Amino acid sequence: MDPLALAAWGLPGLFVAAFLAGSVVPLPSEAVLLGLQAGGVAPLPLVLVATLGNLLGAATLYWLGSAVARGAGGPAGRWLAQRVRRDPAGYERAQARLRRWGAPLLLLTWLPVVGDAFVVGAGFVGMRPLPFVLFTAAGKLARYATVASAAVAVAG
């Protein structure tokens, strides 16, 4: 999927890109945001739409983690179990960090690869939904706000 093609869809394209990037699809949603910003869309709606899409994408992984912890998840649960089998040490480290640091660790869910592990781990360890949403949203908001602000600063 071409991020710049999604930019042609405007804010809905940004939402789709951010949603997919928040799940397990490696899509640079920042490129869509920057393309729209360069095209004249104001930063605030871009940041808010990207944050919401990315948060909802992460919520799918959170749900998957909690479903797998309950012994459910269907094909997605089997996919997750396969992914965990490929890197059990990384998954265990993510869970240990979540148990130690709790919800504030979700401020880092925007990080590549490890961010997804934190999100799935939050669902798996049974983190309550409200702290999950608040901390994940704050981290993702900070990420997109930083990207948009940097673009404004560079554009001068």
Element (H, E) at 136: helix 129-155
Please choose, from the candidates 72, 68, 96, the residue with its C-alpha nearest in 3D space to the C-alpha of residue 83.
Answer: 68
How much is the pLDDT for 8?
A: 77
How much is the pLDDT for 3?
A: 65
pLDDT tens digits along 40-95: 999 999 999 999 999 999 999 999 888 887 877 678 777 777 777 788 887 788 77
What is the rounded average pLDDT for all residues in the chain? 87
Q: What is the CA radius of gyration of the chain?
A: 16
Cα-Cα end-to-end distance for the chain:
31
pTM, to two decimals: 0.83
Element (H, E) at 10: none
